[in-house]
Amino acid sequence: MPAGGNKPYQRSSNRSHVLDALRRNPGASRRDLASMLGLDRSTITLITAELLERGLLDETGTAGGSTRRGRPTVGLRIRNERLRVLGIELHAGGYRAVVRDNAGTIHARLEGRHALRGVGKAELTALLADICRSAGSENPIIGVGCAIPGSVDSTTPTVLYSRELEIRNVNLPRRIQVDDTLQIPVVFDNDARCGAWGELHYRNTETASLIFVTAQKQGAHFGVGMGIVSDGSVISGAHHTSGEFYSPDWQGDERSQFSCQHSDLVRVGSDRAITRTVFAEIVRGLVPSASVIDPDAIVFGGFLREHYAQLLEVAREIPAAASVKRLFVPGSLESDEVTAGASGMFHEHLFDVPGFTTEDSARSIGWDAITRILGAA
C-alpha cells in the first residue's frame, strides 16, 4: 500500500509503486494507476510527469475508455528497452556476461578469462568496471547483477565463503566507478539464487513459489544448490543459508552428500550407474523441500538441465517422487540462466519498494540513481 508520513520516503515509495504497477499493467492510464494504488490523480500526474521527463515512461496512445470531458485516456508504459543491465557469472577461470534489458532482449554476450582464485574486493571491483566498459553500448548500462559461486550475503554485500574461488569473508562493492563521472549500482547473490531470480523475472506465468535446483561439476567436485522463491521473492534465510540441498541418505559423515565416494563423483554424467545413484538422491532429496515450499514448479539448471532427460527417466522409477515430478521443468533461460538471472535479480531489486528496515534499504537500488545514469548518457 502506498505510504504516508515521512515525505522523502513517501515520494520515493509512491514513485516505486507507480513503476511497479506499470510493470504489472503496461498501458495503464493515470486514472487506472490512481485507482489501483489508492492515490490522488494529482499525485499520479506529478509522478508520471517526472518519469516521462526523465525518459523512464512513454505514452502509448489510448488505453481504452475516455475522460469525463470525452477525451480518450492515454496509456503509459515503462521504457523497458532503456533498462539495460549487465548480468555477470563469475567462476574460478573468469566470467561470462550478458547485457539484457527489462523486456528480455539480449544486446551483448561477453566472456573473458581472469584468474579469480583468492580474489579480493579491489581486484573484483576493477574487473567488474572493466567488464562494464567492454560491454559499452550506445545505451547506458544502468546496473550490474553479479552471480558468485558459494555462500553470499547479498545485503552487506559479502562473499561469506566460496570453495571455487577459494575466498572467505570478502566484502563486495555496492557501486562501481565506470569512468570519471559515472558510478553504477551492483547487486550480488550466489549462482543458484540468481538462477531462481531469472526464472522468477522472465517466466511468463505468475509465480508465487518455485524451487530452482542446479548442479555444477568441476573435476571431482559435484555440488548441488537450490534457489527458493516464496511469495514472489527469492529468499536468503538465516545468514544466507537457504537452499542447502538435503540428501535423505546423508549420514552426516565425511562421505560426499551422495551415496558414493568423493572420488566417484568425477564420473557423474559419464558412468551410467553413478549418474543414476546421484540423480536418484537428488530427486528423493527434493521431495522434502517440495513439501516445505509447495512450489509452482521445480526448475532444473546447470548440469541437471543438461542431463534433464536422464534425470526425468530416473524420477519416473522413484515412487516417492510421484507427487513432485509433474512439477519438473528444465530452466527456460538455458545456458544464460545464471547471467540472465543475475540481470533479472537487478531488475527485481530495482522494482522493490524501498522499506524502512536496514535490510530493505541495503537491497534497495533506488530510481534516483537510475535516472542520473540515464540522464548522464
Partner 1 sequence: MNELTAAIDLGGTTVKCAAVTADGTLLHHSRVPTPKTGRGDVIEAIAASVQTLRAELADSCDADVEALGLGSPGMIGSNGYLYGEAVNVPGWCEFNLAETVSERIGLPVTALNDANAAALAELSVSADSRTLALVTVGTGIGVGLAIDGRPHAGRAGAGGELGHLVIEPGGRPCPCGNAGCTEAYASARAVREIAFEQAATWPDSKSAFAALLRAGGPGTEEHRILESLYRAVREDDPFAFVLHRNFCGVLARVASILASTIAPDRVLFGGGVMGSADLIIPEITRQFGTLVMRHVHDHVQIDIAQLGVDAGLIGAAIAARCAH
> CA dist 146 to 139, 181, 262, Å?
20, 22, 29
Cell of 296: 509452482
- CB nearer to partner 1: pick between 173 and 227: 227
- CB nearer to partner 1: pick between 180 and 253: 253
How far apart CA 256 and CA 253 sit, in angstroms, is 8
Closest among 85, 86, 87, 111 to 339, alpha carbons compared: 87
Nearest 10 degrees: Cα torsion 351, 356, 363, 337: -50
At its nearest, how many Å lie between partner 1 and the CB of residue 221? 15
> Which residue reads 558412468 in cell numbers?
271
- CB nearer to partner 1: pick between 93 and 237: 237
At its nearest, how many Å lie between partner 1 and the CB of residue 276? 18
> CA dist 164 to 93, 94, 130, Å?
10, 12, 22
At its nearest, how many Å lie between partner 1 and the CB of residue 242? 4
- CB nearer to partner 1: pick between 277 and 289: 289
At its nearest, how many Å lie between partner 1 and the CB of residue 200? 14
At its nearest, how many Å lie between partner 1 and the CB of residue 53? 34
> Which residue reads 538435503 in cell numbers?
246
- CB nearer to partner 1: pick between 97 and 265: 265
Q: What are the residues binding partner 1 (CB under 8 A)?
A: 1, 151, 161, 208-209, 226, 228, 230-231, 233, 235-246, 252, 287-289, 291-296, 319-320, 359
- DSSP secondary structure string for all residues of 72-85: EEEEEEE-GGG-EE
At its nearest, how many Å lie between partner 1 and the CB of residue 161? 8
How far apart CA 343 and CA 338 sit, in angstroms, is 9
- CB nearer to partner 1: pick between 118 and 237: 237
At its nearest, how many Å lie between partner 1 and the CB of residue 317? 14
- CB nearer to partner 1: pick between 61 and 232: 232
How far apart CA 206 and CA 199 sit, in angstroms, is 11
Closest among 294, 306, 322, 336 to 210, alpha carbons compared: 294
